[in-house]
Structure 1
Amino acid sequence: MNILQNIHAFDVQAFYWFMARKHRALLTRIGRAISFTADGPLYVAGALLCVMTGYEMLALVLTVGFLLERCIYFILKRSCKRNRPADILDGFRSYIIPSDQFSFPSGHTSGAFFVAYCLSEWFPAFSFILYFWAVNVGMSRIFLGVHFPTDTVIGALLGSACAAFIIGVLI
């Protein structure tokens, strides 16, 4: 058994553990709302708000960084082509219809960690809240049944790495 098969086996076990939680139905309802907060249009609105309130450099970091993050995200998504849980696991149906076919990495999680990292640089007093939100975005994607745990972990790493890189380059 190679390393990828071991990771996948662990991922499936962890996914089933999440799905077996006693309050999964409540977590799924909450997850829909949390996941919505990480949809792309809200990020555009946030960048525009930054410009309107005098945070032009933050808006530039968010815009250029998102372009970088999305490029890497799409390359990974299209090259890895990992199927979503509902496509792999017998008898399982996700609680939402995903926006694309493949699972790896989680774009919602990547975007959330990117934003959390960037905003934490400008507003460090809000770091805990921002990262709490980002972690919950990742968890919501698992509870909604559209991602395996490692999809969200790699999404978090991708978003954080892109934010660190772009801030290092532009600031």
Structure 2
Amino acid sequence: MRTIEPIVRMDLAFSLFCLQHRFNTPVAKISRWVSKTGDGHLYLVLELVIWYMDDVVGRFFFAAALLAFAIELPIYWLTKNSFKRRRPEEFSHLLQAFITPSDRYSLPSGHTAAAFLMATIIGHFYPSWYDGALIWALLIGVSRILLGVHFLTDVVIGAILGVFAAHISIRYVLTLV
């Protein structure tokens, strides 16, 4: 475990930097709203709306997104329950969470994984929307840190997981074309 101690110290220092300032409560209010835009049920709504509006590309978008979530979610669950990394407020009494997370462990960030998964799929099927989707995914990841429920590395690993699942899914769906 000594090999990851510098990462843990960096994560803790970064979380303290992000959460120990006089604007943390107003920032948390904005972060809460941003984070809610990354809740899982909204992705299904987005996928269905896109499919409805664009029957040709939308059906491939829908298939790729569903497959990507089918890949991402088991990996997310296994990783989270294997590493069992405690959340930031459990590491230091100086850190407080502004929301109650839906599960116990922090690694990886599921909100971030899902946001980057969707941003990657959006970017592939609708390239002109990619910049906006990527900024939105980044804001979701940052919001999870600013809410005190994830460390920086939780968010980075979540982003990598989301992009990975999306790329695997896109490759597979394109073989069906």
TM-score of the superposition, structure 1-length normalised?
A: 0.95
Q: Equivalences for 1:18-97 in 2 at 5 Å?
A: 18-21=18-21, 23-53=23-53, 54=55, 55-97=58-100
Counterpart-to-counterpart distance in 2, 1:21 and 1:167: 42
Deviations 1:36-77 (A, max 9, x none): 000011011112223322111110001111111111100100
Residues 86-108 of structure 1, C-alpha deviation per residue, up to 9 Å, x if partnerless?
12212432000000000000000
The match for 1:124 among 122, 127, 130 is: 127
SS in 1 for 2:93: coil
AA of the residue aligned to 2:66: T
Q: 2:16·2:95 contact (CA, 8 Å) conserved in 1?
A: no
Letter in 2 for 1:41: H
**In structure 2, how many angstroms separate the alpha carbons of the residues matched to 1:150 and 1:168?**
27
Aligned residues: 171
Q: 1:101 to 1:143 in 2, by over 3 A?
A: same
- 2:164 is aligned, of 144, 158, 161, to 161
> Partner of 2:155 in structure 1?
152
Q: Which runs of 5+ in 1 are unaligned?
A: none
Across the aligned residues of Structure 1 and Structure 2, the Cα RMSD in angstroms comes to 1.3
Task: State the 1:22 CA deviation.
Answer: 5.0
- Equivalent-residue separation in structure 1 for 2:130 and 2:43 (angstroms): 17
Alpha-carbon offset, residue 111 of structure 1: 0.3
Percent identity at matched positions? 33
Question: Per-residue deviation at 1:170?
Answer: 1.5
How does 1:106-125 map onto structure 2 within 5 Å? 106-125=109-128
Range 63-72 or range 23-32, more displaced: 23-32
Structure 2 unaligned regions, length at least 5? none
